[in-house]
Each structure stands twice: as structure tokens, then as C-alpha cells.
A and B are shown apart, each in its own frame.
Chain A
């Protein structure tokens, strides 16, 4: 190939040499002829005659030297451009549909690449492992308890780094210079930043002693906070700031792009977690549930790591208090590599979507292949003529392939653009807790992928029709009429292509219909409350400023102020919120039942609420009564799920519960409806509501229901808080409608993407079937004309065409249903609450496709029925 290229590039020199060589030959020959008695003129003429046409064999010589390859290529390209310009509709449809297919594949692959293939932006990320504990008797365990962490940190041999973060909310109020501000921070152990390979923008990371209990308080600023509050000045290192009333020395600043691996944690600032040095199960004050991240040593396997973690815990099991022993009975240690941890729940969905777009691209290719087969047959005469004037078979195939590669190259370029533009849209579709989504790029891996699928598309769309055309062109063309519908073989090829297309589109249609129906069921199922016109905002008074009794009073005052805002229908306080969960949890004892050993009581969610909570959210009262706000005896309200689980078949009203270490029994005075957690958990969570002044929630939501526009309401609701304490920040402000919308965002995104892909597949397959049937009619005009001339009714003709099209459609639909039955089974394990054997989805998809196919066929069918036999036969 290179010598050919060289010859091509040096063609001027080459031509010159060849001319020299031939001129010498002519001169020598003429001289010989002259010696043999020819005149000078006649000798030269004779010499030229003997040598023959210079151009002809110059061409042959060029062919040997390989220049012809490139000459022909540029010829093919020029010819291909001309052909494509001649049929603009085909060209636009072909390039457009391929570009869409390639573009969407590119965009989705960039997601796959970022989430599943690319190196994570952490130091030795492939060795980072999350350690979690699974306790069978507890619904949710946020992470291993701090004594386990201390134990591991002291004893593990198979890791070269261990760190923890989280361990409870860490919103801190920054006071001092300027406005007091609520800042979202996270507690970390000293090694975390080193483990993640984070280099500070200023100052240093935490040092080893700084996370010990009793160490001097320090803080690391987030980059954003540093810019905003401290003007990015390097002088802040060593300065002291007040956080929740504690003076902390600033030791460093996080780098600009710092992210925790999971987005659930904030990094406006980091404070060291104060942990006892030795595992201490008795110290309840510093007991925390943590996110634990370790870096295993290079040679250590996951199972060996898990083994060591487990045996370390077993060694200290005897020190655990009985409560923990009961709760952790049969517990398991789980180790999850970082990437799997981050992408576990979206991984499969993304692969499914990638599969779906690959299918769309395949459909587009099959479509073009089938149109090309039809065109190639229509071009049979042209091909036959070219074959008869000496174009070789290989040359003809190359010509057709060149055409397709031209289409594919243009489509690939357009697809790259589409992919680039749709990256932004995809980013918003990805679950928000994956900050990896910010790293979406079209990098070289993605570009290589795009190139590969473009080439594959070129081969699929080009080779089948080229071979079909070659067979048709070389063998039958000159013998047969150029108008026949092709040999049975080609009809078969086109039939199979269209059936495959329809089947693939059916799979997508059924898949997306399953997702849509699941989503609709989720979204329209009663959520158990009415989000309309409800604004919620969070207040978290500092425990120092507002100790228990004062806090309760503070909440009551806020409530007073909120109630009198004009236009407000109801105002309430709630420790938790629907969709967010309870404010807290407590071990619960049931009156009249044997008390389990210490620590053996079930821990159940408890939310402190004000009396109007249920009216504001329109949570229905099923039995009993609501809080009056003036209960003399301790009282609670439970939800239906609680009543059914703990008092099945009994009247729950009048029963008594006891919480935590409290000695007082609380009477159950009412039962309210369940509040659903859409798309999160299949079962409704239990809920116990207690009067808010009994629970002293550290954080609480102010809930305001009104028919005022929300924008105005935010200001007046904030004012209700600031009127009492101007230094008290309000945050997490959102309407319940937004919260509901957000809680379904992942499902909505999946559904929307699948829906878009399925719609595209449907359109492409429709174009495909239309093209094939239109061609079928075109190629049979003569036959149809004869039938009409012999008295066939237009009905018969329409039926003939329709039955041809519908046979193909039916075969495709049947194949699609079988394919969907197999492929959608994977969806069952991915999507909560999906019913993969949903007959309605299958039937609806089949009907939709049948109808669309019938419509697509009816246009050419009507045209066939209107054929004028005289015209058709005369021109036939």
C-alpha cells in the first residue's frame, strides 16, 4: 500500500520516466527501421504503430505500479457523489438516520466509558474498596460502627490505607466575620485525603493525631468556601474560625475539583472526626456509623480482605454491648470495589440503554442496506453496462462500497456532532449522586469507538447490497428486463432485512412500553399525601444555642409566625418528610408483650410533628384522632403499615408504646395512611408520629401549605424564622412537588431515553417497510397492469400488496416478541416493580407496529390500485 501511495504521490516523475523510456524505444526502433530502408517519416510512423496506443499501456503500467488504485478511488468518489446527489431523498434519509444512530451510540458510549471503563480520578482507584456491614435485623445500616473502624485501623495487615467519613450530619454554623452561615461539611478521619490522593490547594491535609479525641480542633476549607468567604487568600492557613461555637484552626484548603466518591457528602469544609483511639463500645457519645474506605495492598484479594475484616470483628465481639450483639446477629461484612460501589445501580441500566441504541443503529443500517439492495437492483442496467464495458466485479463492488463509505463517513461526522451536543442532555439524565457525570467527555476512546461503529455501519450497509447487486448485475442484467423485482434471492435478502429491522424495533418498543407502564404506575399510584402548594424548608438550630426545652419553644414560635402569613392554609413542623423519611428512630417496647433482652427491641422510625402536619400534607386519618396540641398524656399516631405489622387483626387504638430509655408509655390515639417512598423501596416504611415537643428533633422541616405562588412564599416563610433569630439559616428549601418530581428522576430519565430510542426505531422500521413495499409495487407495475387489464378489482390489487407487506410485518413482530421475551427478562432485575410479562405492553406494541406497518404499506398499495394498465404496459 505504501509503495502504491508513493507512486501516486510521485506520479509526475513517474510519467516523465515512462515518457522517456517510450521515447527512447521509438527513436531506436525508427533508427533500425531507417537502416532497413524506410524513409525517416515512414520509419517513425511505423515505430509508433508497432508500439501501439501509448495511453492504453501507460494506463496498464500505471495499474501495475498501483497508481490506478487511487485514480479509481477518486473516480469512484466522484461517481458516488454524483449518484448521491441524484437521489437526495435517499441520501438525506440514509445520512440522517445513520448520523442519529451513530450520535446516540457515541453519547451513550461516552457514559459507559466514563462510568465503567475510564480510570477513576483517585489514587490507585482500582484498589480502593468500600467496607459495609449488613445486619439482617436492621433495614438500613449506613455503615460500620466507629468501634469496628478503630479496631480495623489498629489491626488490619492487608491494607495500606484506611479512612472513614460521614458519621452523621455535619452542618456547621460559621460565625464571626460577616453573616452567620450554615455550611455543609463532612467529618473525615485524617487519612482520607491522602487515600484519595488529594493534594491541598493551600496548607496541608490532616495529620495523624488530628482525628484523635481531644486533639486541638482543626478544619480544612473547601475550595468554594475559600473563594467565597476568604477571597482565596493563602493567609487563612493558621487562622481560627468559629464553627458551631468551637474555634478551629484552618490547616488547609481542598483542591478545586475535590469530590467525595459519592455525592451524598458535602465538602464546603472538612473537620476531623473525633474518635477514641481504641475500639470502645461503651462510649455512646462518640459512637458513629461510618463510610469506610480502604486501599488493599496490591497482592491482596477481595475475599482475603473480607476474611481479615471479619475475623478482626469476631476478635472483639465479646466487648460489644448486648444491644449490638442482638442487632448484629448473623451480620456480614461486605467489600465492594469503588467503581462497583459508585456505578452499581446505574451500571446495568446504562448497559441496557447502550444495547438499545446499538439496536437503533443496527436498524438504521439494515434499513439502508435494504434500500440499497432495492436501489442496486434498480441500478442493474447501469451496473450491467459498466460490467460489459470492462469494469471488473471487484471494481463494481468497490464502487458500491465507496458509495456506502461516503454515506457512512458523512453520517459519522454528523453523528459525532450529535453525540457531542447530546452529552449535556445526558448529563442531566444521570442520577445526581454520580458526580462522575461531570466527567463526561468525548475522549480518544470514544472517538475510536465512533470510528469503529462508523466502519461497521459501512460494511453492514455496503457489503450486502453490493454483493446482491453484483450477482444481479453480472448474471441477469443483460438477459433480463431491467425492471423485474430481482431474483428470488434478492427478494429474500430484502425480506430478511426488513423482518430483522421490525423485530429489533419491536424489542425496543416493548422494552420502553414496560418502562413507561412501570413509571406511570409509580407516578399515579397514590403517594399517600398531597404535594400541591406545599413548601418545605429546613431549620437546624444549634444545640448549644437551643438546648432541648428552648428548641421546642423556638419551633413553636416559628410555627406561630408561619401560621399568620397571609394566604397560608396550614403550617406545620415535622422532624421528617414524606420521601425523605423520619427524623429519627428509637427502640420500641410494646405494652403487654414480653420485653426482649436489652438491645433486642426493634428500632423504628419516629418523627416529631406538630398537630397540623397531617392537614398540611393531607395525610388521611384512618382511625382514631389526630393530635390536638394539648394532650395531657403522652400520645402517638402510627401509620397503617405499622398497625398491620405489629397489631395484625387487633385494634391498635389505645395500645401503648415506650421509646428508647423513656419510662413513660405513650398511647396510640390514631392511625394514618401510609406515605409511599416512590421508586426507592417496594414496601411502605413503618412510621410513628410523636408530638414534636416530645421529641426535640435536632433538625426540622417547616411545612407551609398555601395557594400563593411559591416564590413569594419562600421569602415570607424564611422571614417567619428570621423574625425570631436573624442568625438562624434556613436551607433545603423545596416544594413537595419538586421533591416528588426529583424522587422519580432516574426512572423518568430511563423511560424517556428508552422511549426516544423506541420511537426512532419505530420510525426507521416504518421507513424500511415503506421502502420495500414501494419498491415491490414499482417493480411489479407491469404485472399489476396485466392483472387490472384482465379484470382484477382494485381491491384485489390492494390486498396483494398489503398481504405482502403484512406478511413481512407479522414475521418481524413475531420475531420481536420472542426476542423481547428473552431480552426484557434482564429488565426485571434492574427496575424496581417492573412486570416483564406485562401482556398489555406486548399486545400494545404489536398493535402499534401492525397499524404503522399497514399505513406504510397502504400508500404504495393505493398507488398500485390506481395503475392505468394502458400507460403501464405501453411504457413497460
Chain B
């Protein structure tokens, strides 16, 4: 894997919610989708993915269903619940505020202080 920035803590959950919001996926599909939408810029620990999926499911943000994968295996497909959708929206607004704040802060020049 190419070297890419580490994920900030807490952002994996947000990325998973976003990836699943684009359509139900099994675990590996979620991983590929995240890499795809982030332009492979973000590095996902594969080992952290499944605990995160289970945690989100346990919290009721994701629903799961067993189906058949593209290679004809039994596969667990995750989809977004209503709560998950709400959470995604609020997390995203929070994230955008953070980005704006961080950007403004980091762009500050000495004469502006």
C-alpha cells in the first residue's frame, strides 16, 4: 500500500458510515469503497475495520443481512439504519465545522493576531 496519512481517531467510523450510505456492502466492499472515495489517500487498518463494523452495528447505526458475495460466498452485507443516517449527517456537519475552524486557525498570519 502506498504511504498515506494516518486516520485521525474517530474518523474511521465516519468513513464507514459514509461508504455504507452509498449502498450496502460487505466488509471488504466497505474497505474498497473507502479507498475509492478517498482517492486511496487514506490508510485504513484492515484489522480495525471489522471491530468498527461490529461496534457500529451494536450501536444500531448499521444493519446487517446475510447474502451471497460476488464470488458466491456467504457474506454479511451492511447497510445504514435511520439512526445511522442521522448520525452521519450530524458527524459530517461537526467535521465540516472542525475543518473550517482548523483551516482558519492554520491560515492565520502574524499580522492578524
Task: Give the interface of A toward B (CB within 8 A).
Answer: 17-18, 20-25, 27-29, 31, 50-53, 56-57, 60-61, 64-66
Contacts and interface: CB of A to CB of B under 8 A. Distances in A.
Nearest to A28: B28
Interface of B: 1, 26-28, 31, 45-48, 50-51, 54-55, 58, 69-71, 73-76
Nearest to A50: B46
A31 B71 contact: yes
Contacts of B27: 21, 24-25
Nearest to B76: A21
A22 B50 contact: yes
Contacts of B45: 52
Given A21-B26, A57-B51, A64-B54, 7 more contacts: A21-B76, A24-B28, A25-B27, A25-B28, A28-B71, A61-B50, A64-B51
B54 A61 contact: yes
A64 B13 CA distance: 14
A64 B47 contact: no
A57 B75 CA distance: 19
A56 B76 CA distance: 20
Contact of B73 (A24, A60, A66): A24
A64 B73 contact: no
Contacts of A64: 51, 54-55, 58
A531 B48 CA distance: 91
A29 B54 CA distance: 20
Nearest to A17: B76
Contacts of A25: 27-28, 31, 46, 50
Contact of A24 (B26, B48, B51): B26
Contacts of B51: 57, 60-61, 64
A21 B48 CA distance: 14
A52 B46 contact: yes
Contacts of A56: 47
A24 B45 CA distance: 17
A53 B47 contact: yes
Contacts of B73: 20, 23-24, 27
B50 A21 contact: yes
Nearest to A23: B73
A20 B54 contact: no
Nearest to B74: A20
Nearest to A3: B58
Contacts of A24: 26-28, 69, 71, 73-75
Given A24-B69, A28-B28, A65-B54, A51 B75 contact: no
Contacts of B47: 51-53, 56-57
Nearest to B48: A57
Given A50-B46, A51-B46, A51-B47, A21 B75 contact: yes
B20 to A, nearest CB: 15
A56 B45 CA distance: 14
Nearest to A51: B46
A20 B76 contact: yes
A25 B47 CA distance: 11
Contacts of B58: 64-66
B61 to A, nearest CB: 12
A57 B76 contact: no
A56 B113 CA distance: 49
Contacts of A21: 26-27, 50, 75-76
14 contacts: A18-B50, A21-B27, A21-B50, A22-B50, A23-B73, A24-B69, A28-B69, A51-B46, A57-B47, A57-B48, A57-B50, A61-B51, A64-B55, A64-B58
Contacts of B71: 24, 27-28, 31
A158 B12 CA distance: 78
A655 to B, nearest CB: 100
A693 B26 CA distance: 112
A55 to B, nearest CB: 11
A132 B83 CA distance: 72
Contacts of A28: 28, 69-71
Contacts of B28: 24-25, 28-29
B12 to A, nearest CB: 13
B17 to A, nearest CB: 16
A67 to B, nearest CB: 11
A53 B45 CA distance: 12
A474 to B, nearest CB: 24
Nearest to A54: B47
Contacts of B54: 61, 64-65
A64 to B, nearest CB: 5
Contacts of B31: 25
A51 B73 CA distance: 19
Contacts of A27: 71, 73
A78 to B, nearest CB: 26
Q: Which of B51, B69, B74 has the most CB of A within 10 A?
A: B51
Nearest to A7: B58
Nearest to B56: A64
Q: Which of A50, A51, A57, A66 has the most CB of B within 10 A?
A: A57
A57 B27 CA distance: 14
Contacts of B70: 28
Nearest to A63: B51
Contacts of A57: 47-48, 50-51
Contacts of A50: 1, 46
A53 B58 CA distance: 22
A61 B52 CA distance: 8
Nearest to B27: A25
A65 B57 CA distance: 9
A557 to B, nearest CB: 98
Q: Which of A20, A24, A29, A66 has the most CB of B within 10 A?
A: A24
Nearest to B45: A52
Nearest to A31: B71
Nearest to A29: B28
Contacts of A65: 54, 58
A21 B51 CA distance: 12
A623 B83 CA distance: 103
A141 B19 CA distance: 92
A173 to B, nearest CB: 84
A18 B70 CA distance: 19
Contacts of A53: 47
Nearest to A21: B76
A44 to B, nearest CB: 14
Nearest to A4: B58
Contacts of B50: 18, 21-22, 25, 57, 61
Contacts of A31: 71
A22 B31 CA distance: 13
Contacts of A17: 76
Q: Which of B31, B50, B54 has the most CB of A within 10 A?
A: B50
Contacts of A66: 58
Nearest to B44: A50
Nearest to A26: B28
A66 B76 CA distance: 20
B41 to A, nearest CB: 18
A18 B50 CA distance: 9
A50 B45 CA distance: 8
Nearest to B66: A17
A27 to B, nearest CB: 6
A24 B67 CA distance: 12
* A-B pairs with lowest CB-CB distance, top 9: A52-B47, A60-B51, A28-B28, A64-B55, A61-B54, A25-B28, A64-B54, A51-B46, A50-B46
Contacts of A52: 45-47
A23 B73 CA distance: 9
Contacts of B46: 25, 29, 50-52
Nearest to A20: B74
B28 to A, nearest CB: 4
Nearest to A61: B54
A53 B46 CA distance: 11
A3 to B, nearest CB: 8
A69 to B, nearest CB: 13
